[in-house]
């Protein structure tokens, strides 16, 4: 029945896939930062992931079904990493973790503005975001309003505000 797992508990099985320091970071960057290539994920990571670990996590996430890798037609070496429905369905998990982190941990304002919007928007916003991710990653029809654009704009505004304040 169970191959190598520890138990059939949903929390445990989720941890066996996502319970490490990097997997959710990679998924976060793909989901919220729309980073689709290896180098993008490697160099634009705020946390500075190492290349061997990134390679390993991408491979694992593809094997486990959260990501899909396709070739980039415009560049023979590039691969494109896309979220699957399984990956897209993590939006509520990110929202819950973001809310919790924002409340209890020393987050910076610019890094938590998206979590704040996700929390305020609630389930309807998450659903819109997931629809948009299906458009971006799975070729589904695009929704009318872009949640991601709103999140990204708010983030950039927060960065600009901080830089203006630092310059003053």
Q: By CB under 7 A, what part of segment 31-50 binds DNA? A: 37-40, 42, 48, 50
Query: Does residue 108 touch a copy of itself according to CB under 8 A?
Result: yes
- Give the interface size with a copy of itself as a residue count (CB under 8 A): 49
For residue 102, what are its two tokens? 């924002």
Q: Candidates 17-25, 94-102, 104-112, 125-133 — which segment interacts with DNA by CB under 7 A? A: 17-25
CB of 51 to DNA, least distance (A): 4
C-alpha span between 86 and 1 (Å, rounded) = 22
**81, 30 Cβ separation under 8 angstroms:** yes
C-alpha span between 36 and 14 (Å, rounded) = 23
**139, 117 Cβ separation under 8 angstroms:** no
Answer for which of 68, 111, 135, 154 binds a copy of itself (CB under 8 A) is 111
Question: Which CB atom, from 35 or from 102, has the smaller least distance to DNA?
Answer: 35
**16, 60 Cβ separation under 8 angstroms:** no
Query: Does residue 75 touch DNA according to CB under 7 A?
Result: yes
C-alpha span between 112 and 92 (Å, rounded) = 16
Answer for which of 35, 40, 43, 47 binds a copy of itself (CB under 8 A) is 47
Query: CB under 5 to 8 A by kind: which of DNA, a copy of itself, none does 77 bind?
Result: DNA
Place of tokens 């630092």: 166
C-alpha span between 160 and 168 (Å, rounded) = 12
Q: By CB under 7 A, what part of segment 120-149 binds DNA? A: none
Answer for which of 9, 15, 55, 149 binds DNA (CB under 7 A) is 55
Secondary-structure percent of the chain, ordered helix, strand, coil, rounded to 5: 65, 5, 30
Contacts with a copy of itself by CB under 8 A lie at 1-2, 5-17, 19-21, 24-25, 28, 46-48, 65, 86, 89-90, 92-108, 110-112, 115
């Amino acid at each position: 029945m169970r191959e190598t797992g520890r138990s059939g508990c949903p929390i445990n099985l989720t941890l066996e896939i996502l319970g490490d320091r990097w997997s959710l970071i990679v998924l976060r960057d793909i989901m919220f930062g729309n980073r689709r290539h290896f180098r993008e994920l490697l160099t634009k990571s705020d946390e500075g992931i190492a290349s061997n670990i990134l390679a390993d996590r991408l491979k694992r996430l593809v094997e486990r079904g959260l990501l899909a890798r396709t070739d980039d037609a415009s560049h023979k070496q590039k691969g494109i990493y896309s979220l699957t429905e399984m990956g897209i369905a993590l939006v509520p998990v990110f929202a819950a973790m973001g809310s919790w982190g924002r409340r209890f941990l020393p987050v910076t304002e610019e890094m938590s503005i998206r979590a704040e919007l996700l929390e305020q928007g609630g389930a309807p916003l998450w659903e819109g975001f997931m629809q948009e991710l299906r458009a971006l990653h799975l070729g589904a029809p695009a929704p009318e309003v872009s949640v991601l654009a709103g999140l990204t704009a708010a983030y950039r505004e927060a960065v600009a505000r901080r830089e203006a304040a630092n310059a003053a």
